[in-house]
Amino acid sequence: MIGHVYAKFSEEEEAADALNVMNNRYYDGRRMEVEFSPVTDFREARCRDFDEESCRRGGFCNFMHIKPVPMCLIRDMEEDAEDERRRDEMERRRKEERRSRSKRDRKDGHRHRSSRRDRRSRSRSRSRSRSPGGGRDEA
């Protein structure tokens, strides 16, 4: 059990998200291989000798030696999560700007086209009213 880490989540979806994010990342120069554990009651899998500071098997013990998560790891993970949130927010804003810009461009293009049509129809109606024959073009 050397190097195994177990994390318990209250929601299965959170566990799946953590698995996807953490799998194949590197920690302390070693690649992490993350998988779901069939253990449902971690109290049964704990080494009682380790809890009493008397386990002599060390890393070769078949039970879990529960250790607190180092604060440096927690900080690193929080910083990574915050960086990812910032990147996602920036990307979301860029997409919104692009959408609003394309909507504006479409509206502006529609205005230009419709104003050209209006000018054309006004000029035609003027020329028809001036032409002999009651507004009909004669060939």
Determine which helix (DSSP H) or strand (DSSP E) holds 8, and give its type and residue range.
none
Length of the chain: 139
**Does the model's pTM come out above 0.95?**
no
Q: What is the pLDDT along the chain (139 residues), one digit of tens a residue?
A: 456 777 888 899 999 999 999 999 998 888 889 999 877 787 778 888 887 888 888 777 878 887 778 899 899 989 999 999 999 999 999 999 998 888 887 777 655 555 555 556 665 555 555 555 555 554 4
User: How many Å apart are CA 129 and CA 126, to the nearest integer?
Assistant: 5
List strand residue ranges (DSSP E) for the chain, in order.
26-27, 30-31
Query: Helix (H, G, I), strand (E, B), or coil: what is residue 81?
Result: helix
Q: CA–CA distance from 106 to each of 90, 100, 101, 111, 112 (Å)? A: 24, 10, 9, 9, 10
